[in-house]
Amino acid sequence: MTLTIASADLRRVFLHLQGLSDQPGRRIDRNGVHEMIDRLGFVQVDSINTVTRAHHQILFSRNQTYREDQLTGLLERDRALFENWTHDASIIPAAAYPYWRHRFAREQKRLKARWTNWHGHDFHDEIERVHAHVRDNGPSRARDFDSERDRKEPGWWNWQPGKTALEYLWRCGEIAVTARENFAKIYDLSERVIPSGHFGQQVSQADFIDWACRSALEKLGVATHGEIAAFYDLVTPDEAKAWCTQEKGRSILPVEIATEAGGKPRAAFARADIREVIDAAPEPPARMRVLSPFDPVLRDRKRAERLFGFAYRIEVFVPAPKRTYGYYVFPLLEKDRLVGRVDMICRRAEGVLEVTAFWPEKGVRLGEGRLARLEAELARMARFTGMDRVRLADGWRRDPAG
């Protein structure tokens, strides 16, 4: 008989596996930050810094004792983590590097046609030149190859030859990010960045697919084969589907997810120990938490909407008059519910975290208790970002959109 899992249980399990049911005030050191990233699988990196960058926000939302220099130390000194690509640029445990070798091989095939014929030019010689420069000179930046005069507006379509070659070599695993300076990447040869025990390790294609699918399901708890493939973006949906078919009834369980509206259950797969995980998963803390727009809980937008009834999209590239909410709006988690979104910005010259707008979800009232929880979280955000105080802009409370 197929196990049926209630949506409420799945939400509770997912938040638990994603570290959002832990007590966020428990003090952690650098090793604790490493354990947190290992638990998540990876942390997405993003350059937008209206309040704090996505990777820092993701970690802070799980533990309010986290500090940015802990992540820098793990990346640049301990080499316990490395930067590369999942569905986007991400920080990944170094122990996973051998599995990324398979991604590098695929990226080389995919990108060779696209980037070695960049704007009508043959880039083979440029790639060789840039690689030789990094090999002979050590840590290198894009500015070492492209002059200020040649640079254009940001965007991959405006990359100059040196930047394009660096990105190609990075995505193909020939070079790695050794450090960042004002968020700009500094590269070196991968063998000089990745610890030798991980760099020299090889895994078979079968072991690679098994790890990518099994690890994803462990962190999701319950998922479809498409969601498993999308988690790391390492394997194809067909590869994930074949793995699920092979492991069904052996190391994973076929399950059905009950819908709260009483519709047809959704077929999926679960970890073999899902019953024990459901029993052990605690209720999330009652406090309010500000999530990054790139938080793992929200990364798969369709899954998040099914689980939480919360429709979210990034409006960074939407023209301002057409935005429903704002440029970079933060979702708010309370217990197991996404209760609203807040638009805010650090006015660093003033030392102020300014809240420009808050939109509750439909049916969510901002009573005294919830307002107190929101104000407490905003105060924590201000302290984390080095701001002296929180300022609520005029008209900051908004009606639910739509």
Task: Decide if 169 contacts 127 (C-beta within 8 A).
Answer: yes
| pLDDT band with cut points at 50, 70 and 90 for residue 54 | very high
Q: How far is CA 394 from CA 274, 320, 354, in A?
A: 47, 19, 10
Q: Does the structure show a pLDDT above 70 at 335? A: yes
Give pLDDT, residue 269. Answer: 98
Q: Does the structure show a pLDDT above 50 at 157? A: no
Q: Report, as an integer, the average pLDDT of 79-94.
A: 97
pLDDT > 70: percent of the chain: 94
Q: Report, as an integer, the average pLDDT of 40-44.
A: 98
Q: Does the structure show a pLDDT above 60 at 71? A: yes
Q: Does the structure show a pLDDT above 90 at 401? A: no
Task: Write the pLDDT tens digit of every residue in 87-109.
Answer: 999 999 999 999 999 999 999 98
Higher pLDDT, 272 or 146: 272
Higher pLDDT, 401 or 40: 40
Lowest-confidence region among 36-40, 111-115, 203-207, 249-253: 111-115
C-alpha 245/C-alpha 197 separation (Å) is 33
Q: In the predicted model, what is the mean pLDDT of the chain?
A: 93
Task: Decide if 88 contacts 77 (C-beta within 8 A).
Answer: no
Instruction: Give the number of C-alpha atoms closer than 13 A to the C-alpha of residue 312, restricted to the C-beta side.
Output: 31
Backbone φ/ψ region at 363: left (φ over 0), alpha (ψ -120 to 50), beta: left
| pLDDT band with cut points at 50, 70 and 90 for residue 221 | very high
CB contact burial 150-166 (16+ within 10 A = b; e otherwise): eeeeeeeeebbbbbbbb
Q: Which residue has the tokens 């650098």?
A: 30
pTM above 0.85, yes or no: yes
Q: Does the structure show a pLDDT above 70 at 186? A: yes
C-alpha 73/C-alpha 96 separation (Å) is 18
Which of 129, 101, 266 has its CA nearest to residue 198? 101
Instruction: Give the DSSP per-residue string, 334-350.
Output: ETTEEEEEEEEEEETTT
Q: Does the structure show a pLDDT above 50 at 402? A: no
Give pLDDT, residue 118. Answer: 57
Q: Does the structure show a pLDDT above 70 at 156? A: no
Which residues on neighbouring strands pair with residue 175, listed in sequence order? 189
Task: Write the pLDDT tens digit of every residue in 304-327.
Answer: 999 999 999 999 999 999 999 999
